[in-house]
């Protein structure tokens, strides 16, 4: 089964023919019931990251429950559409990017299933190369970029935005971590697909980021973005061949993965 985790403004994915499943996990309930439908011959599970009515802010999303719930249903490969700010004038609103690197600037988030046992996952390349390649092949999609994940829910100051840009980061987001590392710990392939909604605060003189503008831009691009994700799903190979995301090969875990 494939999975899609929808970001801000991306709360539904299927029509009335989808079935809904409620899942409980050792980490509580996920953000919302999971809907399951079909795309391109694949069975696909969809979960809105922030809830169906955007109940969860970035720092309160039940990330561990979300990822555990998807894995327990049989999901092993996940696309994660998300809204991002751009840290370069070369990427304006409406651009779609498949990042290849991540920088964590969050704090206090529960970001592991392994609080004991000496388990360490490789995370040098945080996204699945196979899923990234599929997403990057879609028309108009830009391949590569570093996404810095901030704590939120506030937007960056102008100085922070300029600092991120000088470090060579290209995108800024609030939800990409710990989602990516939890997927790796659960040995699920995971790739983010980022829709640029704004130029971040320090990129354009006199500009600033507002919630109203971000959601308006996402709403304008939602039909295109959903169609792109559906096309990416339809071109995912039927069989999972990736070994990059099998993080625990040769390691004895303190518990069984779901």
Pick out the residues of the known binding site for substrate: 174, 198-200
Tokens matching residue 174? 């609030």
Catalytic residue among 17, 104, 115, 200: 200
Catalytic residue among 90, 104, 198, 213: 198
Contacts of 216 (CB under 8 A, 6+ apart): none
Annotated binding-site ranges for phosphate:
8, 49-50, 175
Cα distances (angstroms) measured from residue 96 to each of 1, 57, 138: 25, 23, 10
Active site residue 200: yes
Residue 79 DSSP SS3: strand
**Closest by Cα among 227, 185, 213, 198 to 63:** 185
Residue 21 DSSP SS3: strand
Q: 86 forms bridges with which residues in the sheet?
A: 171, 199
Annotated binding-site ranges:
8, 49-50, 174-175, 198-200
| CA 178/CA 109 separation, integer angstroms | 7
Cβ distance 147 to 169 under 8 Å?
A: yes
| CA 4/CA 115 separation, integer angstroms | 27
| CA 133/CA 143 separation, integer angstroms | 8
* Helices (H), ranges, 137-210: 158-166, 176-185
Cβ distance 146 to 168 under 8 Å?
A: yes
| CA 233/CA 198 separation, integer angstroms | 26
| CA 71/CA 136 separation, integer angstroms | 24
> Which residues are part of the catalytic machinery?
198, 200
């Amino acid at each position: 089964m494939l999975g899609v985790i929808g970001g801000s403004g991306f709360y539904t994915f299927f029509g009335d023919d989808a079935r809904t499943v409620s899942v409980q996990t050792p980490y509580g309930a996920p953000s919302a019931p999971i809907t399951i439908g079909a795309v391109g011959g694949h069975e696909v599970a969809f979960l809105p990251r922030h809830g169906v009515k955007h109940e969860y802010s970035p720092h309160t999303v039940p990330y561990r429950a979300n990822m555990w719930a998807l894995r327990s249903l049989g999901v092993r490969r996940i696309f994660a559409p998300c809204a991002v700010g751009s840290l370069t004038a070369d990427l304006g609103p409406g651009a779609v990017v498949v990042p290849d690197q991540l920088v964590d600037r969050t704090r206090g988030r529960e970001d592991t299933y392994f609080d004991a046992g000496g388990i360490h996952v490789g995370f040098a390349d945080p996204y699945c190369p196979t899923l990234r390649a599929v997403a990057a092949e879609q028309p108009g999609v830009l391949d590569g970029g570093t996404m810095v994940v901030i704590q939120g829910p506030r937007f960056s100051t102008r100085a922070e935005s300029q600092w991120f840009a000088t470090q060579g980061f290209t995108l800024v987001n609030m939800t990409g971590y710990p989602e990516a590392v939890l997927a790796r710990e659960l040995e699920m392939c995971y790739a983010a697909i980022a829709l640029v909604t704004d130029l971040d605060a320090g990129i354009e003189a006199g500009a600033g980021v507002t919630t109203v503008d971000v959601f308006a831009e996402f709403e304008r691009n939602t039909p295109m973005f959903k169609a792109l994700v559906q096309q990416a799903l339809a071109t995912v190979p039927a069989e999972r061949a990736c070994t990059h995301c099998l993080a625990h090969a040769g390691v004895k875990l303190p518990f069984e993965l779901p």
